[in-house]
Amino acid sequence: MLALLIHIQAARSLAGALARRGTGFVRPASEPREAPPKKRGRPRAKACQTLEPAAFIPFVPQPEPLWDTKARPGPISTAGYPPLWFLAPARLVMACAVGLARGLAWAHLGFVLVTSTLVACYAFVDPSVTVLSIQRRYADGYAPVSRPMPVTLEQVPKTARRMLVSVEDSGFWTHPGFSLEAFVRAAEVNKRLGRPLYGGSTISMQVARTLFLLPVKSYLRKYLELVVTVELELILSKERILELYLSWAEWGKGVYGIDMAARHYYRASASKLTTDRSARLLAILSSPLKYGPGTLGKSDLLRSRYDFLVKAYQIGSAK
């Protein structure tokens, strides 16, 4: 009897254990249901729960490299190339050439801007000083003999104006500021002499040289003359260019302009000049620092210029 009770109790215990493990055995109604243990930590997301948009990272396929990135680079071949020690000086020379070209371009642009601005001002006002007068005073020591006296065309005799154009630039009223024929003749003479002595300058080019350039004969100065001459012809009229020439042309050491020359040599104003005196003054324009109206006969060139004016305007015998 005791053994039977022991077997019954063991069977109940086994049935309860199997029922708790889900083996399908029915738990007795008298046995209470145990509460499931509480899990700690963050609860797991359900299968139907959606994740936040930031959690999704799209997959972007990467392009394949054009070369093998794992391969080690080999030595660079220098066959057919100059040595490295030769490239450094070449690059230095190239950099210096580029820098020099840029500097010259900026200098040229600045020169054009300055001269064109002054030329535009000279259309209405007379210059108070020129580069030539500054050079003569501070470098050569030729101080002006008196205050510069700008003149108008009405203050100069008509015959003197015609003489000036005849002896200095016969095509002044028709050419654009320079004469190709004069350049060709000057080039032939310079070739025979072996140096740039003659430039074939027109009246406009002489005005440009007097106003803005130093009296140094070179091809660079001739180029700058052409630049300023174009500015003069584009901005000023022919009459104004002729007035600037008559007001600032060099007629001796410290003598500028035909009015100052007339007062210095003949004690009279430009409007009082006779035809012979005008011819003598205009004849010495090619060499005003060495000769004067009374000594022009010592130079064959000046004498020929004077004789040309005498015959052209029927002045009379040369004195």
Among all chains, which residue has been given the structure tokens 């012809």?
233
pLDDT number for residue 149: 85
Is residue 122 within 8 Å of residue 115, measured between CB atoms? no
The H-or-E segment that residue 250 falls in is strand 250-252
Q: What is the DSSP letter of 172?
A: T
Is residue 261 within 8 Å of residue 255, measured between CB atoms? yes
pLDDT number for residue 68: 56
Phi, psi at 267, each rounded to 5° = 55, 40
pLDDT number for residue 177: 86
Q: What is the DSSP letter of 192?
A: H
Which one, of 272, 269, 304, lies nearest residue 286 by Cα? 304
Q: Which amino acid is at 49?
A: Q
pLDDT number for residue 319: 44
Among all chains, which residue has been given the structure tokens 């500015």?
231
Helix (H, G, I), strand (E, B) or coil at 213: coil
Q: Which amino acid is at 57?
A: I
Rounded average pLDDT per 10-residue block, the chain, 319 residues: 62 62 50 59 53 55 62 58 62 85 93 95 93 92 85 93 89 84 66 59 92 88 92 95 95 94 93 93 92 90 88 68
Phi, psi at 4, each rounded to 5° = -65, -40
Measure the CA–CA gap between 226 and 223, rounded to whole angstroms: 5
- Domain 126-144+153-313 is in which class? mainly alpha
Helices (H), the chain: 2-20, 84-122, 131-134, 158-168, 180-193, 203-212, 219-235, 238-248, 258-266, 275-283, 300-313
What are the structural domain ranges in the chain?
Answer: 126-144+153-313
Measure the CA–CA gap between 131 and 212, rounded to whole angstroms: 5
218's CB contacts (< 8 A; 6+ apart) are 196
Among all chains, which residue has been given the structure tokens 């305007």?
313
C-alpha triplet 225, 226, 232: angle, nearest 5°: 85
pLDDT number for residue 40: 62
The H-or-E segment that residue 255 falls in is strand 255-256
Helix (H, G, I), strand (E, B) or coil at 252: strand
Q: What is the DSSP letter of 135?
A: I
Q: What is the DSSP letter of 256?
A: E
pLDDT digits over 21-57, tens only? 554 444 555 555 555 666 565 555 554 455 455 555 6
pLDDT number for residue 318: 42
Among all chains, which residue has been given the structure tokens 């066959």?
79
| pTM (predicted TM-score) | 0.68
189's CB contacts (< 8 A; 6+ apart) are 197, 198
Sign of CA dihedral 64, 66, 68, 73: negative
